[in-house]
Amino acid sequence: STMKVSLSFVFFAGIGLYSLLYQLLCIDLFQDGDDSVTTIAFSDNGYHLATGHASAKVRFWDLRKQVIIATMNGDGSLLQSVSSITYDASGKYAAFGGRGGLVVTTVKDWGTTLRIEVDHPLSGIGWTKRGIATCSEKEQVISFYSSS
């Protein structure tokens, strides 16, 4: 049986209050055989959702059309799992990482622009004004990667 889940997001944009209602098929989003979802991220505009999986697969969803628009498989042999995903504020880039490294991809054409191998599992990724910051809970490490 298929269970439908309604996700409701309310946010302020300019002077108005907007509500977006999305219906996703729970079976498609959160179950993929034995491949569990380990992290999710929404784009700032609320139109896209990224899901990271234990198998290092990353799926990018168009929530308006309710379809998968891209699937990346851990960028080859770099990642063994995905534990964090984030979009940058401009919506042009998405970064994901976990056990093995960090990957930055361009949104829309889904080309890998940056691959960084790390020797500690990443537990968090965040964008800074000049690059990306990552952290590892296990190793208690915070790393900064600059675009300049």
pLDDT digits (tens, 9 = 90+) for 61-80: 988 888 889 998 865 678 88
Q: Considering only residues 10 and 70, tell me which one the structure prediction assigns the higher pLDDT.
A: 70
Q: Considering only residues 117 and 14, tell me which one the structure prediction assigns the higher pLDDT.
A: 117
Question: Is the Cβ–Cβ distance between 134 and 124 less than 8 Å?
Answer: yes
**Residue 98, pLDDT above cutoff 60:** yes
The pLDDT assigned to 119 comes to 82
Q: How far apart are CA 123 and CA 52, in angstroms?
A: 12
Question: Is the Cβ–Cβ distance between 95 and 107 less than 8 Å?
Answer: no
